[in-house]
Structure 1
Amino acid sequence: MSQVILRSGIKAVVGLGKTGLSCVRYLKHQGYSVAVHDTRQDPPGLTSLQQEFPDVEVYLGALDAQRLMQAEEVVVSPGLSIQEPALTAVSAAGIPLIGDIELFVRAAQAPVVAITGSNAKSTVTTLVGEMAAHAGKRVAVGGNLGLPALDLLGQADTELYVLELSSFQLETTHSLKASVATILNLSEDHLDRYGSMPAYHKAKQRIYRQCQAAVFNRDDTLTQPLLPASVAVSSFGLGQPDLGQWGVRTEQGIRYLALGMDCLMPVKDLPLMGDHNVANALAALALGRQAGLPIPAMLEAIKAFRGLEHRCQHVRELDGVVYYDDSKGTNVGATVAAIEGLGSTITGKVIVILGGVGKGQDFQPLHDPLKSYARAAVLMGVDAPAIAASLPQELTRLHADSMVSAVQIAKSMSVAGDVVLLSPACASFDMFVDYHDRGHQFVRAVGALT
Structure 2
Amino acid sequence: MNGLGGVKRVVVIGLGMTGLSVVHHLVRQSVAYDLDLEIKVIDTRATPPGQESLPSSVELCRGEWNMTWLLAADMIVASPGIALATPELQQAAKAGIEIVGDIELFARAVTKPVVAITGSNGKSTVTSLVGEMAKEANINVGVGGNIGFAALDMLANDHELYVLELSSFQLETTSSLKLKAATYLNLSEDHMDRYDGLADYSAAKMRIFDHAELVVYNRDDLATRPNLSADVAETSFGFDDQDYGLIVLDGQEYLAVDQHPLMPANDIALVGRHNVANSLAALALADAAGIDHESACRALRRYTGLVHRCQLVVQQHDVKWVNDSKATNVASTLAALKGLNLGGKLHLLVGGDGKGADFSELQPVLAELNVQLYCYGRDGALFAPLVESPICVETMAQAMTQAAKTAHAGDMIMLSPACASFDQFPNFMTRGDTFVALAQELQHQVAGANEC
* Residue 23 (structure 1) aligns with: 22
- One-letter amino acid of the structure 1 residue matched with residue 347 of structure 2: I
Q: In structure 1, what is the equivalent of residue 349 of structure 2?
A: 353
- Work out whether residues 6 and 30 of structure 1, in 8 Å CA contact, stay in contact via their aligned partners in 2: no
Q: Distance in 2 between matches of 1:278 and 1:416?
A: 30
Matched-pair contact (CA < 8 Å) for 1:7–1:33? no
Alignment of 1:370 onto 2:366: yes
Q: What RMSD in Å do the two structures reach over aligned CA positions?
A: 2.0
1:382 maps onto 2:381 in alignment:
no
1:161 is paired with a residue whose SS is strand
The within-5 A match list for 1:404-423 is 404-411=397-404, 414-423=407-416
1:80 aligns with 2:82: yes
| Closer/same/farther in 2, CA of residues 260 and 418 from structure 1, 3 Å limit | farther
Alignment pair present for 1:154 and 2:147: no
CA 1:162–1:429 in 2, change beyond 3 Å: closer, same or farther?
Answer: same
Q: 1:442 aligns with which of 435, 438, 445?
A: 435
Aligned ranges for residues 31-430 of structure 1 at < 5 Å? 31=30, 32-49=37-54, 53-156=55-158, 158-237=159-238, 239-242=239-242, 245-341=243-339, 343=340, 345-348=341-344, 350-389=346-385, 391-392=386-387, 395-411=388-404, 414-430=407-423
**CA positional deviation for 1:72:** 1.2
Q: Distance in 1 between matches of 2:91 and 2:310?
A: 43
Preserved contact between residue 343 and residue 410 of structure 2 (Cα < 8 Å): yes
Shift in Å, 1:154: 0.7
Please report how far the alpha carbon of residue 317 of structure 1 lies from its aligned counterpart in structure 2 after TM superposition: 2.4
String of CA shifts for 1:137-183, please: whole Å, max 9, x gaps: 11111111111111111113x22110111111111111012111111
- Give the 3 Å change call, closer, same or farther, for CA 63–264 of structure 1 in structure 2: same
Displacement of 1:107 in angstroms is 0.8
Q: What one-letter code is carried by the residue in structure 2 that aligns with 1:171?
A: E
Question: Partners in 1 of 2:271 and 2:409 — Cα distance?
Answer: 18
Deviation, 1:259, is 2.2
The separation in 2 between residues aligned to 1:8 and 1:445, in whole angstroms, is 50
Separation of aligned partners in 2, 1:8 and 1:388: 53
Q: Determine the C-alpha separation between the residues in 2 that align with 1:8 and 1:409.
A: 58
Amino acid at match of 2:316: L
State the secondary structure of the residue aligned to 2:368: helix
Write the letter of the residue equivalent to 1:166: S
Give the total of aligned pairs: 434
Give secondary structure in 1 for the equivalent of 2:247. strand
Q: Pick closer, same or farther for the CA change 1:260–1:415 going to 2, 3 Å.
A: farther
Aligned-pair CA distance for 1:267: 2.5
* Structure 2 residue ranges without an equivalent (≥5): 31-36, 448-452
Provide the rounded CA distance (Å) in 2 between the counterparts of 1:416 and 1:247. Answer: 38
